[in-house]
Structure 1
């Protein structure tokens, strides 16, 4: 693990140094990334211009959900967002070259064309949290305070695991790049809103099948002191770290299985 982290840091730093040779371009691209990321925020602001609440949740509460989901998603995207290019490497045969190098193929794929502009995704979500948290009508106990960073870290791990899982699918479904985005980018969008706006069966799917409910929904219910629409026990509000560990374990198994069964394209 330590060697993988060192390799990741070195490769990412190498790409960043290359991007820094064109500083104006790098800054403009980072700002453009921040603006694009903030478009979802603009949609939420427009909704609250016409209604005082969404599914019973106030503006600060929805912005808190947006900020925590967006921060977790952005961190996972920065770290592993390029993994969804695996199918392209399989199709072109460039994965073969990665396999003979003394660095994990996942590290190589994840750091490919790593750019500081990815950090632009953090700007709007961090700004939203800075604005929303003081406006929450919440009694901040030590447990609630500790749950916020724990939620963000667990959410980041869940999104990162989903990226690896969907990348592993591309060992079999080589052209599944766009379909897998429905899980990663689609999941990031879904968790920006209270899950109670969706149907109960859909929420059950996001709890038991693709555990996006544990990114920020379940912990936020405890922070907001609200009941679970599905009637799940209070212990589920604190289950995000355990769920993240399970999903990461499944992602590791799927990735290793994909590598073991990979057959060169012969190109």
Structure 2
């Protein structure tokens, strides 16, 4: 963990070399997910409920999936870009280092600029919790926390599967985006919608 934090600090310093670019990318990530939020707002402004779900209930689903996906995209990005590591021959260098290969791949690319999307998810989550009308007990709070953590692990697992397929193809497989990006889009609304 200590080594991962060192890698993260180095990557943050390198991404902050161009502060304007970093903040503009972060703002862009926030605005892209904000347009999805606006689309949902306008839909629920026109129709008060869809399949019995209110705006705040759908926002709760949206914020949970967006937070999970953003965490995975930010901190497990090394596996998403694994095809480049394989094709450039960097994986050979990773294998001869006396460190865990998974840790090195994880830490090879941490996208702090994706925090804009994470902030969007957290802000919507904070708004949706009191607005949803759910009476929050310890069990429900634990369930929501486990949903976010579980979603993070699901998306992380999909990135790792994607990376493992690169050993056979040496190129990125765009069809895996059906599962990562498609899963994110599918999870933004309750299943019946």
Output the aligned Cα RMSD.
1.8
Matched with 1:109 is 105
1:31 partnered with 2:34: no
Q: C-alpha separation between the residues in 1 aligned to 2:186 and 2:40?
A: 13
TM-score, normalised to structure 1, is 0.67
Match among 114, 120, 126 for residue 118 of structure 1: 114
Match among 4, 11, 32 for residue 8 of structure 1: 4
Q: Which moved more, 1:8-17 or 1:94-103?
A: 94-103
Query: How far did 1:30 drift?
Result: 1.4
Matched with 2:17 is 21
Query: How far did 1:113 drift?
Result: 4.1
Match of 1:175, SS state, is coil
TM-score, normalised to structure 2, is 0.90
Instruction: Please state which structure has a larger fraction of its residues in helix.
Output: 2
Q: C-alpha separation between the residues in 2 aligned to 1:76 and 1:34?
A: 16
Matched with 1:189 is 185
Q: C-alpha separation between the residues in 2 aligned to 1:113 and 1:166?
A: 15
Q: Is the 8 A contact 1:85 1:177 kept in 2?
A: no
Structure whose alpha-carbon radius of gyration is higher = 1
Count of residue pairs brought into register by the alignment: 193
- Residues 103-146 of structure 1: CA deviation (Å, up to 9, x unaligned): 33333333334343121121111111111111112222221122
C-alpha change, 1:10 and 1:26, in structure 2 (3 Å) is same
- Residues 140-178 of structure 1: CA deviation (Å, up to 9, x unaligned): 222112222122112212221221122212222333431
Match among 42, 49, 72 for residue 53 of structure 1: 49
Q: C-alpha separation between the residues in 1 aligned to 2:181 and 2:156?
A: 12
Q: Larger RCO: Structure 1 or Structure 2 (Cα < 8 Å, ≥ 6 residues apart)?
A: 2
Query: How far did 1:60 drift?
Result: 0.5
1:62 partnered with 2:33: no
Match among 123, 130, 134 for residue 134 of structure 1: 130
Q: Is the 8 A contact 2:166 2:172 kept in 1?
A: yes
